[in-house]
Structure 1
């Protein structure tokens, strides 16, 4: 109750602190997490990606049907030999400081993104040159034909290839940027940012939307409100009460168990806008015991179960889908390859493999996210399944931002490292082997967990070169089977999260929450 009282007082204080905003059209939203990091290239955290779409723009974007559309690009051309892409920017693109967007800005942005993001790394491995033709036109020259150029540039999930001014994009990708200047539909108000309380965006008066209607992350980004505030309210019940009382307008991801309360109020709209949903995954650390042993990773794959996990974490079958496919059920690359016998809570087989592997009881140090509702139940259920499979588990409760930092540590748990953690990725990020961060097995270049397998990487390269969907399907199935064999991660099914709003109209159906086109009559 004390936490709820503090959160309620925070809502009142935040609203009372801005009496001059009464005549502005302001959307007050509670997102799934507070935001402390502002660089969407430095981290893959979803909340930072969401922040990125407020401030920056992209060369291409995916529409509601997951088709690639030009965004900052006006038109593009591909040479007959399929080796040279020429991109021309739209007229009127400006940075928030008033300077024009140039080709050099875009080239620097692609290089920084491509040094950090795994899809970008793969794309740039096929690129021999990025060169400016003039201020508005630049070329991408390939070493060989690569059919996923536009798909890569339209990548909607973290890390997104956001375009930044050259002086900012020249920042080392391993160092966080400090200047938040984009060309997107909203301007970040640094002077009003209070980590742990709120982050504020205002309408960019110089933004030139595309002429097309909004569709997914593409089309015209028309801003109809003056101001958007993301309020940090960690107590879900307090946030729900604030929405019911009309003190806030938007809750990105209310817990499933509170949905009946929201649905009972006719002034509240509860709707799924990210219809493709998200995927739960368990990630382990290949560098440290016990999961440095492949047979022990295999044991965990027998202990886990998508069905029991989703029943416990989500509860309502209307909002989850039992699925073993790494590349997401309901998509062109859905497959059951390599899944036979796995993810079915076969605890006896898990214990047999642990015995064969000589498991000595080394505890799984499980990082547990405490402040994001889709993950708060995930850690305890993962712990229970692993323990029933014969593992010893020590759960370490942490807020998400602490986990973002700690998961980068490669050392043993005794030195601040980790063994495993539960995470969730947008399904749109997991739909193919190049955007699926968890299946990357490029050793030190892979994401936190650092899986290392040459055959997985050979199959990912083959996928990148595949000329058509049929061949990509076959390669993706082979890749899934190999990734499960070596254990890059554990896919644990899919879920959707409805958003709750009050008094808002024209919300765009998109895989991430966007605030352009929203109106507040």
Structure 2
């Protein structure tokens, strides 16, 4: 039975504000079957290749498609294309399936895909290594292209099927020719939804309409593989920085779905009639913090280690989650429960050891250089970490300058390589999904190729050599040995500082059906009943 709770004035006011500027579309929206979703934050960065932010990735899955998909058994599956492999495993021939066209009506071609792969590979941690093993990519005709490898590797298929972050989304050639250092300004994909540019309100609202020309695959949907069957007319994403407002809106029926429910507000929904609360990604996520290796104080490995010794995972998880049913401490940079789990460095990253942290500050002659710590204030799953980190660093003796801002501003700030005194930063925290963190390529935090790496720009050539060894190996035991050595280097060099693992509950109206269970938030397959 559906809840009949009244709509609070706060909810009414917020929904009215969100609707301003889009009144001309109200008639269309009212007639359409619409799923209204409160997402973790507002969408501002529209190019899913220039950023690893989850909101941009989720936006990408709405309007773009990928050549290959990943199913719930971690198997690579055909999506836009099938493939054949030569006997020597050096030539892969990809054939686009029938019925693929861009949202502007033009057919998807092999040249579109080649340009998209090259743009993705120029900035992605997997793609960068992959391209060192590629001899060439060439179109055979409009629907076929081949990739010639210098040596056999599983990285080609794994890279094109990767879930997150920065999946290899396909775009029209004219758009994919944009350098990856420049954000695209036209959002044309071939995916199951179309982006409604006229209704976009940056940071507040994004609207997607069903793509009537999309031809799903015949196979059952599984994660990002199989048939992407859209059962509703529209999906509207809303950002509600006030979490209580989002809860009230779900209870009153003004929204249908909350992507992430703050743990302290779960009791308000767990027994709410007409509302379902569940963890859609059973593997969960891991939290961590990241140093800027380019500038003081964290250009010194001893000071990175001091910061890692200072912070208690338990304190972070208690602040973030509170309920131990949803979290666990973990030192593994590839995730506890994953095949490459390793506990090296647990004594540094799990308990706090302020005495050791202070000793390292003294050894490194720390001079009080401020630590510019980015603090997102509008994302419940990220707001507590910097507060706990700042307190721990100050207790150890660091001078901390915490900079509050919304999460999308943090996302844009992350790529700033200027000195902290000139708009840069020293430290930020975030989280990643465990489904894509179990190897040195899906795990964005591990790449350590200096200024070409992800935000923080660690330069550890030994890790890069090991990643290449991993790409060349097909032996599970050898790969586990390689990742154990990467774990040692990643902790000792402060490439990433794990903060533990947790599961994130979602909540949705019982009017929704077949809500997908996956490591990424997807809206195909989801149905909605009438009032």
Q: Is TM-score (shorter-chain normalized) higher than 0.5? A: yes
Superposition map of 1:252-263 within 5 A: 252-263=259-270
| 1:119-155 per-position Cα deviation (integer Å, ceiling 9, x unaligned) | 1111111101101111111100001111222111111
- In 2, the alpha carbon distance for the partners of 1:338 and 1:243 equals 43
Counterpart residue number, 1:117: 124
Greater CA drift, 300-309 or 483-492: 300-309
Counterpart residue number, 1:291: 298
Greater CA drift, 409-418 or 136-145: 409-418
Q: Please, which runs of 5 or more residues in structure 1 have no aligned partner?
A: none
Counterpart residue number, 1:26: 34
2:110 counterpart (89, 103, 109): 103
- In 1, the alpha carbon distance for the partners of 2:421 and 2:18 equals 40
Counterpart residue number, 2:70: 62
Residue 510 (structure 1) aligned with residue 524 (structure 2) = no
TM-score by length of 1: 0.97
Superposition map of 1:41-440 within 5 A: 41-73=49-81, 75-440=82-447
* CA spacing shift, 1:506–1:296, aligned 2, 3 Å: same
SS of match in other structure, 1:397: strand
- In 2, the alpha carbon distance for the partners of 1:499 and 1:343 equals 27
* CA spacing shift, 1:259–1:24, aligned 2, 3 Å: same
Alpha-carbon contact 2:22-2:199 (below 8 Å) kept: no
Greater CA drift, 298-307 or 510-519: 298-307
2:507 counterpart (479, 482, 500): 500
Counterpart residue number, 2:527: 519
| 1:231-288 per-position Cα deviation (integer Å, ceiling 9, x unaligned) | 1222111111011000110110121111110112120001111111111111111111
Query: Pairwise CA RMSD of aligned residues?
Result: 1.7
Residue 445 (structure 1) aligned with residue 441 (structure 2) = no
- In 2, the alpha carbon distance for the partners of 1:135 and 1:11 equals 43
- In 1, the alpha carbon distance for the partners of 2:348 and 2:186 equals 50
SS of match in other structure, 2:265: helix
Q: Please, which runs of 5 or more residues in structure 2 have no aligned partner?
A: 1-7
| 1:476-504 per-position Cα deviation (integer Å, ceiling 9, x unaligned) | 01110011111112011111111110010
What is the deviation of 1:338?
A: 3.8
* CA spacing shift, 1:118–1:12, aligned 2, 3 Å: closer
Greater CA drift, 17-26 or 150-159: 17-26
- In 2, the alpha carbon distance for the partners of 1:275 and 1:60 equals 23
TM-score by length of 2: 0.95
| 1:147-166 per-position Cα deviation (integer Å, ceiling 9, x unaligned) | 22211111100211001111
- In 1, the alpha carbon distance for the partners of 2:27 and 2:392 equals 51
Counterpart residue number, 1:461: 468
Residue 35 (structure 1) aligned with residue 64 (structure 2) = no
| 1:279-331 per-position Cα deviation (integer Å, ceiling 9, x unaligned) | 11111111111111111111112112222211111111122121110001111
What is the deviation of 1:185?
A: 0.2
- In 1, the alpha carbon distance for the partners of 2:31 and 2:127 equals 44
SS of match in other structure, 2:408: helix
* CA spacing shift, 1:487–1:169, aligned 2, 3 Å: same
